[in-house]
Structure formats: C-alpha cells, structure tokens
Structure 1
C-alpha cells in the first residue's frame, strides 16, 4: 500500500508523531470501531481545535451517527 500512496503527500507522514488523547471517546463494544475512526477523522480535520471533553456522548449517539452515515452514502449513490 505504501508504494501506491507514497506520492500522495508532500512530506513523509511516517515521521509524524503519534499522540494518545486521553479525553477522546473510546469504544465499549466490538462493532462500532469503523464509526469511531470516521468520527475521529471528521473531528481532527476541522479548522477549529477539538474539545474532546465536549464529545463524550459518542456511544449514546451511535445510532444517529450510523443513520447519518447511511443517508450520506445513499444520497451520493443516487446522483
């Protein structure tokens, strides 16, 4: 996979630091990992800093997140 993506970035991202964010929401089941990754990416690409303590309710909002995701996929496939 590295060969296919090595020219996708202006710099070598393998040297980027890895940090653990203590306040970030964590998954408590074995089925929502993909949505957690999606929500993490969605949060960190925003132009404003993420206040992780404000997004602790991901677990209870997971059905809503899945519905929004499915709706977005549906809307892009019917164009």
Structure 2
C-alpha cells in the first residue's frame, strides 16, 4: 500500500501532506485513463514553468493518441538500448 511504502521512505507521513485543488486541472472521464493522466501531469509539470491547465482540457479526447505516443517512445527506447 502507498501509505506503508511512503512511511518507510519519507520522513513525514503522507497523511500530513496538504491536499490542493487546482482550478482547471484536467480530469479523466472514466476509470481507465488514470495512468495516462498521471504521465501527462508529470510531463506537463516537468516541461514548463507556467502551466495553463485550461489548455490541457482536451486530454480526455486524446488518450488514444497519448497511449500510442507512449508505446512508440517505449519501443524506440528499448530498440536503442538493445542495439548496443
């Protein structure tokens, strides 16, 4: 469980972490896209200083594309590592 793993790895328990609501943050519309959304959040946070979440509001219509891009990236990376 995440709580148990975090307790062993972090000095402060996750139950003390603040919960923030971000206006305009894209949310998945089903129970299948959580992984895609987590990866897209990570990508957005890592790639830019000023995120406009309103510009990301169309993610739910693009999850098939995002999955294809992720698969292509993984295959390309694996192929590059395997060729060495």
TM-score (ref. length: structure 1): 0.76
**Partner of residue 63, structure 1:** 64
CA distance in 1, matches of 2:17, 2:44: 18
Q: Which has the higher helix share?
A: 2
Number of equivalenced pairs: 74
Structure having the higher Rg: 2
Q: Which runs of 5+ in 2 are unaligned?
A: none
Structure 1 runs of 4+ aligned residues shifted over 2 Å read 14-18
CA distance in 2, matches of 1:53, 1:73: 28
Q: Which runs of 5+ in 1 are unaligned?
A: none
TM-score (ref. length: structure 2): 0.72
CA distance in 2, matches of 1:49, 1:23: 14
